[in-house]
């Protein structure tokens, strides 16, 4: 089947010297580490998709993680093309036979049968459409080919001052909407897990998973850091950490631009790490297990967490370990792991922190504290935690009142 590989792209330009052509490094264009490239089953590259990957990577406003996810979706599309034995430029006049129409039908069927999440289905179709817009713009396929029907939609929203605004967007009749699920959700549509489940998960991970995954789960549950932040933690950051002047037993680690530790939207902030976990992380940083991995790849020694191949952890690498964790955990009786995602560690921390803040301070002060602790770009994201807690407490009160009323009717 088609393969997704990663290369180190070093831009070069041709220079004529002594009657011959030499390729020299182009300093004005940045080098791209781990540039995703797609190869067919016979080993031949998919040049149009690979050029698309390169041109997206050259945009300094696009992070390599975003490009990787985009090309992973195109890789799944390439696998489907080979399975169906259909050319990616197949656009006959009959609508049902067009390659994108057939691919959309396959995605919808997979979603309806539970093989794919609705959000994944939407993202894969969006990635394919984005690639085809690029291909048509570069005339890799005819602009007049009957690919889809464009349509304009108006999106209404409220700005920060509370005024209603409208925004025009261009979409297609091939797009697959990601319908919002009923009920309150936190960041990325995920929910927190209970304290009991968290304790069971950490104990199981400690006994059955790699030490790195166990520590990353610990950091997620007790700092609320995103996975991209955890995988880029640096040893020097632990050494340079300062004690929080306002909270005893708490350390503060700067994260964001200039620190080498990634944050979403490049938000600048600090990680709050309890004394106990700081000691644990420093002990791991100096452990023989980690130092053995550093010896094999000294260029990666600044990263706290390294894989068994001595590479810095990527989000994909953690996701692969999470798949194993879910399978073994369910086999051991931890049924709640069936749909558990790493990002739920963040949702769990945020809910716990907001609950404590609301007990000790006003809503305004709680929102500001949680916003800073979780590095939210917008306070509206923080308000979801406040609303979720209030809604949950109301549900508990209603349930208790209903139970008392029901028992009263039974005893009457």
Is the residue at 15 inside a domain?
A: no
Q: What is the pTM of this model?
A: 0.63
Number of domains in the chain: 1
**Residue 143 binned pLDDT confidence (cut-offs 50, 70, 90):** confident
> pLDDT digit string (tens) for 322-366?
999 999 999 999 998 988 889 889 888 888 888 888 888 888 888
Residue 318 has pLDDT above 90, yes or no: yes
Is the residue at 264 inside a domain?
A: yes
Residue 27 has pLDDT above 90, yes or no: no
Tokens of 176: 């697959």
Distance of alpha carbon 335 from alpha carbon 125, whole angstroms: 31
Which of 180, 83, 178, 77 has the alpha carbon at shortest distance from 127?
77
Higher-pLDDT residue of 389, 105: 105
How confident is the model at residue 231, as a pLDDT? 94
Phi-psi region of 109 (alpha: psi -120 to 50; beta: other; left: phi over 0): alpha
Phi and psi at 23, nearest 5°, equal: -100, 120
Secondary structure in 3-state letters for 26-76: CCCCCCEEEEEEEECCCCCECHHHHHHHHHHHCCCCCCHHHHHHHHHHHHH
Residue 412 has pLDDT above 50, yes or no: no
**Residue 406 binned pLDDT confidence (cut-offs 50, 70, 90):** very low
Is the residue at 351 inside a domain?
A: yes
Residue 240 has pLDDT above 80, yes or no: yes
How confident is the model at residue 153, as a pLDDT? 60
Domain boundaries, position 352: 193-387
**Residue 114 binned pLDDT confidence (cut-offs 50, 70, 90):** confident
Is the residue at 153 inside a domain?
A: no
Is the residue at 398 inside a domain?
A: no
| pLDDT average, residue stretch 90-96 | 89
Higher-pLDDT residue of 408, 239: 239
What CATH number is given to the structural domain containing 262? 1.10.443.10
How confident is the model at residue 166, as a pLDDT? 67
Looking at mean pLDDT, say which of 19-23, 52-56, 263-267, 360-364 comes out highest.
52-56
How confident is the model at residue 304, as a pLDDT? 96
Residue 171 has pLDDT above 70, yes or no: no
Is the residue at 93 inside a domain?
A: no
| pLDDT average, residue stretch 369-389 | 76
What does each C-alpha distance from 263 to 3, 88, 231, 233 come to in angstroms? 30, 36, 11, 11
> pLDDT digit string (tens) for 180-211?
554 555 666 667 888 899 999 999 999 999 99
- Asked whether the beta carbons of 271 and 229 are under 8 A apart, the reply is yes
DSSP secondary structure letter of residue 314: P
Distance of alpha carbon 64 from alpha carbon 34, whole angstroms: 8
- Asked whether the beta carbons of 239 and 180 are under 8 A apart, the reply is no
Q: Is 294 exposed, middle or buried (0-12, 13-18, 19+ CB in 10 A)?
A: middle
Residue 411 has pLDDT above 60, yes or no: no
Compute the mean pLDDT over every residue in the chain, rounded to the nearest whole number.
Answer: 84
| pLDDT average, residue stretch 116-124 | 87
How confident is the model at residue 146, as a pLDDT? 79
Is the residue at 321 inside a domain?
A: yes
Is the residue at 32 inside a domain?
A: no
């Amino acid at each position: 089947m088609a393969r997704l590989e990663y290369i180190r792209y070093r831009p070069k330009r041709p220079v004529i010297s002594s009657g011959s052509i030499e390729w020299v490094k182009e300093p004005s264009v940045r080098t791209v580490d781990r540039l995703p490239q797609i190869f067919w089953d016979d080993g031949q590259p998919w040049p149009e998709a690979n050029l698309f990957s390169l041109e997206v990577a050259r945009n300094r406003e696009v992070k390599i993680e975003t490009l990787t996810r985009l090309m992973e979706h195109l890789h799944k599309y390439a696998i489907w093309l080979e399975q169906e034995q259909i050319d990616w430029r197949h656009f006959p006049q009959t609508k049902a036979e067009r390659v994108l129409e057939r691919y959309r039908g396959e995605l919808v069927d997979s979603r309806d049968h539970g093989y794919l999440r609705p959000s994944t289905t939407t993202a894969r179709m969006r990635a394919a459409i984005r690639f085809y817009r690029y291909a048509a713009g570069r005339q890799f396929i005819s602009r007049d080919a009957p690919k889809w029907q464009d349509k304009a939609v108006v999106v209404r929203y409220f700005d920060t001052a509370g005024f209603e605004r409208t925004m025009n967007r261009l979409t297609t009749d091939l797009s697959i909407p990601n319908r919002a699920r009923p009920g309150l959700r936190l960041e990325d549509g995920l929910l927190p897990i209970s304290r009991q489940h968290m304790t069971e998960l950490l104990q199981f991970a400690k006994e059955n998973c790699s030490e790195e995954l166990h520590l990353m789960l610990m950091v997620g549950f007790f700092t609320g850091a995103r996975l991209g932040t955890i995988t880029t933690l640096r040893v020097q950051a632990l050494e340079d950490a300062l004690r929080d002047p306002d909270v005893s037993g708490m350390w503060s680690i700067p994260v964001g631009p200039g620190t080498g530790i990634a944050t979403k939207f490049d938000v600048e902030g600090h990680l709050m790490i309890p004394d106990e976990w700081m000691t644990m992380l420093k002990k791991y940083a100096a452990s023989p297990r980690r130092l053995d991995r550093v010896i094999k790849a000294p260029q990666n020694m600044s990263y706290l967490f390294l894989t068994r191949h001595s590479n810095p952890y990527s989000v994909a690498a953690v996701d692969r370990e999470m798949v194993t964790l879910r399978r073994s955990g369910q086999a051991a009786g931890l049924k709640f792991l069936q749909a558990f995602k790493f990002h739920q560690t963040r949702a769990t921390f945020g809910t716990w922190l907001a609950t404590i803040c609301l007990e000790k301070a006003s809503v305004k002060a709680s929102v500001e504290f949680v916003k800073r602790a979780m590095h939210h770009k917008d306070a509206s994201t923080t308000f979801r935690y406040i609303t979720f807690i209030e809604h949950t407490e109301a549900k508990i009160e209603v349930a208790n009142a209903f139970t008392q009323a029901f028992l009263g009717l039974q005893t009457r």
